[in-house]
Structure 1
Amino acid sequence: MKNLYLIAYLDLKESIRAKWFLVYSLVFGGLIALFFIAGVTESQVMGFSGLSRLLLMYIQITIVILPIFILITTVRSISGDRDSHILEYMLSFPISLKQYYWGKIIGRFITVYLPVVFAMVIAVVYGAFKGAEIPWGIFFLYTGLLFAMSATFLGIAFFISSFVKSSEVALGIAFFIWIFLLAFIDIALISLMMQERFSEGLIITIALLNPMEIFRVAAISLFDPQLTVMGPVAYYILDSVSQTTFVLLAIGYPLVLGIGFAYLGYKIFEKKDLV
């Protein structure tokens, strides 16, 4: 157990020293600062105002930025160590493959998750200082959604890194997955819906299997429980499950998905040639 924490601590220190971590932190912290400068908390759109309005905008941007940041910064975690022969050096110490792999995951998860949550904490502190009403329920639920989404793409990234030897190939696969989940799957499903080849319920269910899509819908439902901005799709979702159940599903499903991919990555890493 001690070696596990040491690997996590080593990866955490290495990530903090890297330039990407500075850029990563500045992006999310800068977004919050930009929203305050633009006076987002003082505006009102569709009934959303104050910190609720700020968090709504933050959610929409995070959906796009967070997955690609996690993928491109994490997908080279093991393959990069293999390329630079650090993996061979680390395993020369009395460290098991299990301790190395899961230690890397713990350290990297702390690195990618804390800056995103810390930016929200800054928003809450500043909002409280300005006397704004703080939507604590939305804040904690959104923190849970971020936790699950970070775990999902971290697991996918380690899964890729476990079997790809070249860092360049790993980056290419990661970028393709991000584009596919972000755009291609929606385009394909909308095309099928317009051609009426499958039922709308089946197409919507397939769309919600996309962790980015279920995160987006759950995040919107926190501000708009009736999902009025989504049109007819809302009727199918709300008729199937309640809003509370859907939010819990949006946290549990991506979390299980991420752990599953991470475990598959470990099994491949355990049996594959390490150098």
Structure 2
Amino acid sequence: MKNLFLIAYLDLKESLRANWFIIYSLVFGGMIALFFIAGVTQSQVMGFSGLSRLLLIYIQVTIIILPIFILISTVRSISGDRDTYILEYMLSFPISLKQYYWGKIFGRFITVFSPVFFAMIIAVIYGKIIGALIPWNIFFLYTGLLFSLSSAFLGIAFFISSFVKTSEVALGLSFFIWIFLLAFIDIALISLMLQNRFDESLIISIALLNPMEIFRVAAISLFDPSLTVMGPVAFYILDNFEQKVFISLSILYPFVLGLIFAFWGFFIFSKKDLV
């Protein structure tokens, strides 16, 4: 256990010195600052005002930026060590494969989740200063959603990094997965729905298997329980799930998905040639 935390500490320390972490932190912290400068908390649109509207905008932007940042910053975690022979050097010490792999995951999770979380903390502190009403229920639920989404893409990234041999291939795969989940899957499913080749409920169920999609629907449902902005899709979701059940599923499913990919990646990592 001591070696696991040591690997996590080394990965965390290395990440804090990297340029990507500075940019990563500035992006999310800068978004919050920009929203404050633009006067988002002082405006009201569609009944959303104050800190609630700021969190709504923040979470909608985060769903696009967070997955790709996690993928491109993490997918080279093991493959990069393999390319630079750091992996061979690390394993020359009395460190097991399990300690190395899970230590890297633990340290990298702290790195990718903390800037997103602290940006929300800054929003809450500023809201307290200006006397805005703090929607604590939405804050904690968004924290859970961001935690689970980060876990999902971290697991996917380590899964990719466990079997690719070069960092270039790892980056290419990460971009493909991000684009596929963000746009291509929706386009493909919509085309199938328009051609009436499959039942609508089946297509919507497949769409909700996408962790980005279920995150987006859950985020919208916190402000719009009737999901009026989603049109006919809302009727299927509301007919089959209560809001509390759907929110719980939206937090649990991506987290479990990330664990599955992480364990799958460890199985591959422990069975193949390491260097």
- The Cα shift of 1:3 comes to 0.2
Deviation of 1:228 after TM superposition, in Å, equals: 1.0
Q: Spell out, residue by residue over 1:36-94, the C-alpha distance to the aligned partner (whole angstroms, 9 max, x if none).
A: 00000111111100011001100110000000000000000000000000000000000
Aligned to 1:41: 41
- Aligned pairs for 1:106-255 within 5 A: 106-255=106-255
- Counterparts of 1:92 and 1:150, CA distance in 2: 31
Spell out structure 1 runs of 4+ moving beyond 3 A.
none
Deviation at 1:111, TM superposition (A): 0.1
Q: Secondary structure of the equivalent of 1:197?
A: coil
| Alpha-carbon distance in 2 for matches of 1:44, 1:207 | 31
The amino acid that maps onto 1:14 is E
Aligned to 1:2: 2
SS in 2 for 1:273: coil
Partner of 2:24: 24
> 1: distance between equivalents of 2:245 and 2:145?
13
**1:1-46 deviation per Cα after TM superposition (whole angstroms, max 9, x unaligned):** 0000000000000000000000000000000000000000111111
How much has 1:198 moved relative to structure 2?
0.8
What one-letter code is carried by the residue in structure 1 that aligns with 2:120?
A: M
SS of residue matched to 2:273: coil
* Secondary structure, aligned partner of 2:92: coil
5+ residue gaps in structure 1? none
Q: In structure 2, give the amino acid aligned to 1:68.
A: I
Deviation (angstroms), 1:232: 1.3
AA in 1 matched with 2:239: D
TM (norm. structure 2) is 1.00
**Residue 274 of structure 1 aligns to a residue in which SS?**
coil
Which residue in 2 is equivalent to 1:96? 96
Alignment gaps of 5+ in structure 2: none
Q: CA RMSD for the aligned pairs? A: 0.4
Q: Give the distance between the partners of 1:13 and 1:135, measured in 2 at CA.
A: 34
Q: Distance in 2 between matches of 1:34 and 1:174?
A: 28
Q: Please identify, of 190-199 and 110-119, the stretch whose mean Cα deviation from structure 2 is larger.
A: 190-199
The one-letter code matched in structure 2 to 1:258 is G
Rounded to whole Å, the distance in 2 between the matches of 1:212 and 1:40 is: 25
Give the secondary structure class of the aligned counterpart of 1:132.
Answer: coil
Give the distance between the partners of 1:64 and 1:246, measured in 2 at CA.
21
Say whether residues 1:258 and 2:263 are aligned partners. no
Percent identity, aligned pairs only, is 80
Q: Residues 215-245 of structure 1: CA distance to partner in whole angstroms, max 9, x if unpaired? A: 0000001111111111111111011010000
Q: Give the letter for the 1:238 counterpart.
A: L
Partner of 1:14: 14
Query: 1:90 is matched by which residue type in structure 2?
Result: M
Q: Report what 2:66 is aligned to.
A: 66
Q: How many residues are treated as equivalent by the alignment?
A: 275
Q: Hey, what's the Cα distance between the residues in 1 that align with 2:183 and 2:78?
A: 28
